[in-house]
Structure 1
Amino acid sequence: MRLIAMRHAKSDWSAETGSDHARPLNDRGVKSAKAMGDWLRAHGYLPDLVLCSTATRTRQTLDFLALEAPVQFEDSLYHASACTMLDSVEGATGDTVLLIGHNPGMAEFARKMVRTPPAHPRFHDYPTCATLVMEITAPDWASVDFGMGEVLDFAIPREVIAQTEKAG
C-alpha cells in the first residue's frame, strides 16, 4: 500500500474570512498545488482515495491538484494530531491514499510514520504543500501504525517548480 501525506498549499493570511477554517489559498498556494498535482501525475503517485480536512485551504489544494479520486472530507482532520490522522488512515480503502492536512500535525505524522526520514533539509518543518510518498507494509489500512512507512519520495513545491522551469 502507498500513503501520500500532503500539507495544504500556502494560504492567504490577508483574506478577511472571519475564521481560520475559511482561509483560502493565496496565488503562490494555487501555483504550488497545481505543480504538486503535476508532480504526482508525472511520478504515477495517483490516489485511489483522498482523505481531506474540511478547511477551505485543504479543499482548494485538492481542487488545484486536479486528481481523479473519490474524496472523504473529514472534520476531524482540521488541525488534527498525528494520532487523529492515523485513525483516519486506518479507515481507508484502496491501494494508494492521499491525506491532506495541516501543520503541526502533518509534520509530526510524517515523522512518526517513516522508519527512516528522507535526507531532505525541509522534511522536519514540512513547509506548505510538502508531500511525502511512502510505501506501507501492512496487510490492510486497519493494521497501519507509526513506523511502518518506507520513504519513496519527498518533494516541496519550490523545488518542483524550479525543476519544471529549468526543464522548460
Structure 2
Amino acid sequence: MKKLLICRHAKSSWVQAWLTDHDRPLAKRGLKDAPLMAKRLKANHIFPGKITSSDASRALQTAKIYLEVFSKEDVIFEQTPELYHASVKDILQVIHKTSEQVNSLFIFGHNPGFTDLINHLGESLDNLPTAAIFGFTFSTDRWEQISRKNASFWLYDFPKNKSTKNS
C-alpha cells in the first residue's frame, strides 16, 4: 500500500510586492500554521518516507518546516520545479517517479493543481486551503500504478479544523 499526503503550502506573504510569485515567502500566519500541521501529523503517528516539494519559496519553506518537525525520522527530501504551476498530469508524473522503497510520500505545492488532483483521484473538494493536507491510500505497491481506481480517502485536515477528519 502507498500513502500520499498532498500538502498545500502555508499562507504566503504579499508584503514585498516586488517579488515574483515564485519568490514569495511565507507570511507570519504561514510560519505558524506549517509547524502546527506537521505536529498534528506526528502526534497521529503519520510520518513521511519522502518529501517532494515545489521549488517555489513558500512551498519549499513549508516543506522544510515539516522536515524540521520530522528531523528524527529518516526522510528523503527532494525539491523540483515540476510542481510549480503543475497540472494534474505534471503532479502525477512527479509522483510516478518516486522510488518503490518509499511507502509514504508528502508532496508540497500549489493550487489549482492540488485541488484538481484530489478531484481527479475521486474526492470532491472545491478548494484545498493554504497549509491544508489531504491524504489518499492506494491499494498498490507501485507509485506508477496509483489511480482513481485504487485510491481511498485517508485524511483531510487544515489549520482551523478543530477535529481532524480521518477515515
The answer to whether 1:107 aligns with 2:110 is no
Is this contact kept in 2: 1:17–1:23, CA < 8 A? Answer: no
The answer to whether 1:88 aligns with 2:94 is yes
Provide the residue aligned with 1:24 in structure 2. 25
Q: TM-score with structure 2 length normalisation?
A: 0.86
The answer to whether 1:75 aligns with 2:81 is yes
Provide the residue aligned with 1:154 in structure 2. 156
1:140 to 125, 142, 147: 142
Q: CA deviation at 1:139?
A: 3.0
Provide the residue aligned with 1:129 in structure 2. 131
Is this contact kept in 2: 1:135–1:150, CA < 8 A? Answer: yes
Structure 1 window deviating more from structure 2 (22-31 vs 67-76): it is: 67-76
Gaps of 5+ in 2: none
- The 3 A distance-change label for structure 1 pair 147 and 5 is farther
Structure 1 window deviating more from structure 2 (65-74 vs 148-157): it is: 65-74
Distance 1:17 1:149 in 2: 41
Structure 2 residue matching 1:153: 3-state secondary structure = strand
Distance 2:70 2:23 in 1: 22
% identity of equivalent residues? 26
Structure 2 residue matching 1:158: 3-state secondary structure = coil
Length, aligned pairs only? 156
Structure 1 window deviating more from structure 2 (23-32 vs 136-145): it is: 136-145
Q: CA deviation at 1:58?
A: 0.6
Distance 1:82 1:67 in 2: 27
Structure 2 residue matching 1:134: 3-state secondary structure = strand
Q: TM-score with structure 1 length normalisation?
A: 0.86
Q: CA deviation at 1:42?
A: 1.1
Gaps of 5+ in 1: 118-122, 164-168
- The 3 A distance-change label for structure 1 pair 17 and 57 is farther
Is this contact kept in 2: 1:47–1:96, CA < 8 A? Answer: yes
Distance 2:77 2:155 in 1: 23
Deviation by residue 1:104-129 (Cα, 9 ceiling, x = unmatched) = 00100111123x44xxxxx4211101
- The 3 A distance-change label for structure 1 pair 67 and 124 is farther
Q: Which runs of 4+ in 1 moved over 6 A?
A: none
